[in-house]
């Protein structure tokens, strides 16, 4: 079935999930042909949950001894250029670019857990998943979708986006199913799946970066900690820093979309939903979150 859906992206149901039509052939190709390497690291997320930030952080952590912080690739490249979005790479027929990357690679997809290529699951690669209060995901996504639309398209009203989000009929499916699958996997295999919350990284970036480095197998040495390397990583990847860079103010990742790199850096806060939805809408979303996550031990969002 085809869903007119969340402007401007049409979605198609594939193996039980709504997948954006433009990347679907790429995803089918990727499922069959992608060969993970044992030392690959995957940055996974539901769209608008903090992917760009996590890409920057993992990349900065991994390459911290390779580049000085004042001449770092992240100063001249968007984080999405440093950590490829596999769905789009495959959709563009450029999978060979991933093969050409030296190990260890950091790669990203928005696929729900059940749809991941078998080699990612069976090789037991490390996965870092970031999630976020669904209310902020919705707001962030609504802005992003309207930025992405072609001039000829009508903007999507927030109420329409809200309805579709609640029903789970938006690109990459229901946020709750997405998060839950990865949460459960992180409980089963904590050494392989690190589950992070956007709000926790915002609240305590130091602890989050230390945790990330530990999980990635490249913990900070006592000397590095003393020399302030952790703080350098945080500063390099901070919202204000990345947003202020020329490449992120004016650069363009996708020549085929009316989308500039600044679309990935909007507000970078927790709780912007308060400026966009009524208390009833917020309560409704929180109620759905509670119901969907009931019994899982995971909580998300709240305070509506």
Q: Which two tokens stand for residue 4?
A: 């007119």
Q: Residue 133, interface with ligand A3P (CB under 6 A)? A: no
Backbone angles phi, psi at 224, to 5 degrees: -60, -40
Q: Which of residues 37-96 bind ligand A3P (CB under 6 A)?
A: 45, 47-53
- The least CB distance from residue 252 to ligand A3P, in Å, is 16
Residue 163 to residues 190, 262, 288, 292, Cα–Cα distance (Å): 34, 27, 12, 16
Instruction: Assess contact for 42 and 123: CB atoms under 8 A.
Output: no
Contact pattern from residue 91 through residue 130 relative to ligand A3P, giving x for each residue in contact according to CB under 6 A and a dash for the rest? ----------------------------------------
User: How many residues are listed for the chain in this entry?
Assistant: 304
For ligand A3P, the closer of residues 242 and 245 by Cβ is 242
Which lies closer to ligand A3P via its Cβ, residue 5 or residue 205? 205
The Cα 281–Cα 43 span in angstroms is: 31
Gyration radius of the chain's alpha carbons: 19
| Site stretch for ligand A3P (CB under 6 A), options 12-20, 95-103, 249-257, 265-273 | 265-273
- One residue of 135, 268, 288, 304 binding ligand A3P per CB under 6 A: 268
User: Which range, of 36-44, 85-93, 145-153, 237-245, touches ligand A3P by CB under 6 A?
Assistant: 237-245
55 contacts 106 by C-beta, under 8 angstroms: yes
Told to judge if 71 belongs to the known catalytic residues of this protein, a careful annotator would answer no
In this chain, which stretch among 64-72, 87-95, 178-186, 264-272 interacts with ligand A3P, using CB under 6 A?
A: 264-272
Q: Distance (Å, rounded) from C-alpha 101 to C-alpha 119?
A: 17
Q: Is 237 in the site for ligand A3P (CB under 6 A)?
A: yes
Q: Which is nearer to ligand A3P, 98 or 253 (CB)?
A: 253
170 part of the interface to ligand A3P, by CB under 6 A: no
Minimum CB–partner distance for residue 300 and ligand A3P (Å): 15
Residue 266 binding ligand A3P, by CB under 6 A = yes
Counting beta carbons within 10 angstroms of the beta carbon of residue 267, is it exposed (0 to 12), middle (13 to 18) or buried (19 or more)? middle
Contact 168, 179 (CB under 8 A): no
Residue 127, Cα to own-chain centre: how many angstroms?
12
Nearer to ligand A3P, 39 or 269 (CB): 269
8 A C-beta contact, residue 207 and residue 201 = no
Listed ranges 31-39, 220-228, 233-241, 296-304: which one lies at the site for ligand A3P (CB under 6 A): 233-241
At its nearest, how many Å lie between ligand A3P and the CB of residue 46? 8
Q: Which stretch binds ligand A3P (CB under 6 A): 16-24, 67-75, 118-126, 259-267?
A: 259-267
Chain residues binding ligand A3P by CB under 6 A are 45, 47-53, 136, 140, 143, 237-239, 242, 264-268, 272
Catalytic positions are 110
């Amino acid at each position: 079935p085809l869903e007119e859906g969340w402007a401007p992206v049409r979605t198609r149901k594939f193996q039980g999930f709504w997948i954006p039509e433009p990347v679907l052939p790429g995803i089918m190709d990727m499922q069959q042909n992608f060969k993970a390497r044992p030392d690959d690291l995957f940055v996974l997320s539901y769209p608008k949950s903090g992917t760009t930030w996590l890409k920057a952080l993992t990349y900065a952590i991994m390459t911290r001894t390779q580049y000085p912080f004042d001449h770092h690739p992240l100063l001249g490249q968007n984080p999405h250029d440093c950590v490829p979005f596999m769905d789009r790479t495959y959709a563009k027929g450029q999978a060979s670019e991933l093969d050409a990357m030296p190990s260890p690679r950091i790669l990203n997809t928005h696929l729900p857990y059940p749809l991941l290529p078998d080699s990612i699951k069976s090789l037991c690669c490390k996965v870092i998943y970031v999630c976020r209060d669904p209310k902020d995901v919705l707001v962030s996504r609504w802005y992003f979708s309207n930025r992405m639309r072609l001039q000829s398209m009508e903007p999507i009203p927030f109420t329409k986006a809200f309805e579709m989000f609640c029903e789970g009929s938006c690109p990459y499916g229901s946020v709750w199913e997405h998060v839950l699958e990865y949460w459960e996997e992180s409980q089963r295999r904590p050494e392989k799946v690190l589950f992070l919350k956007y709000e926790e990284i915002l609240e305590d970036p130091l602890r989050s970066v230390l945790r990330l480095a530990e999980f990635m197998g490249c913990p900070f040495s006592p000397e590095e900690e003393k020399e302030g390397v952790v703080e350098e990583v945080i500063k390099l990847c901070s919202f204000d820093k990345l947003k202020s860079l020329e490449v992120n103010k004016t650069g363009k990742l996708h020549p085929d979309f009316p989308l500039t790199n600044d679309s990935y850096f909007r507000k970078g806060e927790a709780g912007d939903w308060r400026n966009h939805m009524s208390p009833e809408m917020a309560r409704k979303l929180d109620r759905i979150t509670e119901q969907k996550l009931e019994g899982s031990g995971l909580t998300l969002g709240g305070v509506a």
